């Protein structure tokens, strides 16, 4: 686990990540039909925690985080694993999975807009153009012909998923500034542990003990979400990040919403209407343009050593 992967192996793992994350939104859409959103996130988190403990234990990567890594553990656990996961799961109770995944992956657009305002980045022309393109895509998917504005649940669902994306963006902006002591993979289990405890306590207070009609289908959906959509995807991404450039991975992840839309159509029978297709194309193009806007800055940093 300490040596970089070959290009072929890295690309193969990266495809697994995109597929795992893309399909996971359709899986979550099905889970929240049986289990409340908070318990959906909590149970998935418990499964991921057990899987990560096994992987890190067998690979001798199980470490106690140092004090300087505690803020990033809490940041990821609370902003991404707790708030993002819960808000998305709650929003998907009222939204089609395909629209949910497109709205959820507007995160890079909020990063591109917020980071310069906070003095954490430079707003270049490509980033601004990409963000505006993505916001136009957001307007397309939220137009009254695509989203029923007379249905308060649908509007609330869309709002929760967008708020989830903003929470993830805040987490990304903080992570960029953090000076890591342990590796992201080594800290992942502690992030999941914190999220699991917070989610379990909150779910118990809010919903009580979950009452679900358990079946093999429900068990398999949870196993996919916890082991494939979380553990395998995060482990694979940690390996990919050490073998492929950040620019390549950032651009590559724009394929996740496309996979999500396709999986929702195949697994859930959701139609791909014109608004969804146009919005997805605009948002993916905007994310790609904003990501490419970082190239000059990366080149300057590399040239200055």
Note the pLDDT tens digit of each residue in 230-269.
Answer: 999 888 887 787 677 666 776 777 888 899 999 999 999 9
Joined tokens for residue 25 = 């939104």
Q: CB within 8 A of 81, min separation 6: which ones?
A: 41, 45, 191, 192, 194, 195
The C-alpha atoms of residue 162 and residue 34 are separated, in whole angstroms, by 23
Q: Give per-residue pLDDT as tens, 204-219.
A: 999 998 888 889 999 9
pLDDT, mean over the chain: 86
Instruction: Give me the pLDDT at residue 27, please.
Output: 96
Any idea which of 33-47, 127-141, 190-204, 235-249 has the lowest mean pLDDT? Answer: 235-249
Quick check: 87 pLDDT over 90? yes
Instruction: Give me the pLDDT at residue 23, please.
Output: 95
Instruction: Give me the pLDDT at residue 175, please.
Output: 84
Going by pLDDT thresholds of 50, 70 and 90, the confidence category of residue 295 is low
Instruction: Give me the pLDDT at residue 296, please.
Output: 44
Q: List the one residue out of 33, 34, 39 whose CA is nearest residue 204.
A: 39
Contact (CB, 8 A) for 106 and 165: yes
Instruction: Give me the pLDDT at residue 301, please.
Output: 33
DSSP state of 4: P
Q: Give per-residue pLDDT as tens, 18-29.
A: 999 999 999 999
The gap from C-alpha 99 to its chain's centroid, in whole angstroms, comes to 15
How many DSSP H helices and E strands does the chain contain?
Answer: 15, 0
Going by pLDDT thresholds of 50, 70 and 90, the confidence category of residue 162 is very high
> In a 3-state reduction of DSSP, which class is residue 99?
helix
Joined tokens for residue 198 = 């917070």
Quick check: 128 pLDDT over 90? no
The C-alpha atoms of residue 179 and residue 175 are separated, in whole angstroms, by 8
Contact (CB, 8 A) for 212 and 40: no
Reported pTM: 0.85
Q: What is the DSSP string of 180-202?
A: -SS-HHHHHHHHHHHHHHHHHHH
Instruction: Give me the pLDDT at residue 176, please.
Output: 79
> In a 3-state reduction of DSSP, which class is residue 214?
coil
């Amino acid at each position: 686990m300490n040596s970089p992967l070959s290009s072929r192996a890295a690309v193969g793992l990266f495809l697994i990540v995109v597929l795992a994350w893309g399909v996971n939104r359709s899986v979550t859409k099905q889970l929240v039909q049986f289990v409340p959103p908070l318990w959906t996130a909590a149970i998935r988190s418990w499964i991921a925690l057990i899987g990560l403990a096994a992987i890190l234990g067998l690979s001798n990567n199980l470490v106690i985080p140092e004090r300087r890594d505690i803020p990033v553990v809490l940041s990821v656990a609370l902003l991404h694993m707790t708030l993002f996961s819960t808000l998305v799961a709650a929003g998907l109770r009222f939204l089609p999975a395909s629209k949910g995944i497109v709205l959820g992956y507007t995160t890079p657009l909020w990063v591109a807009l917020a980071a310069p305002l906070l003095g954490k980045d430079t707003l270049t022309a490509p980033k601004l153009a990409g963000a505006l393109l993505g916001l136009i895509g957001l307007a397309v998917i939220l137009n009254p012909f695509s989203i029923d504005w007379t249905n308060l649940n649908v509007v609330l669902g869309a709002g929760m998923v967008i708020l989830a994306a903003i929470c993830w963006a805040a987490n990304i902006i903080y992570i960029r500034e953090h000076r890591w002591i342990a590796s992201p993979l080594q800290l992942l289990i502690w992030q999941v542990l914190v999220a699991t405890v917070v989610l379990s306590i909150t779910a118990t207070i809010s919903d009580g003990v979950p009452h679900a009609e358990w079946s093999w289908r429900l068990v398999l959906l949870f196993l996919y979400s916890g082991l494939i959509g979380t553990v395998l995807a995060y482990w694979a991404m940690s390996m990919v990040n050490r073998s492929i450039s950040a620019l390549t991975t950032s651009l590559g992840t724009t394929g996740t919403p496309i996979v999500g839309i396709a999986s929702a159509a195949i697994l859930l029978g959701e139609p791909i209407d014109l608004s969804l297709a146009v919005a997805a194309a605009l948002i993916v193009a905007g994310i790609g343009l904003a990501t490419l806007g970082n190239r000059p800055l990366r080149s300057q940093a590399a040239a200055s050593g």
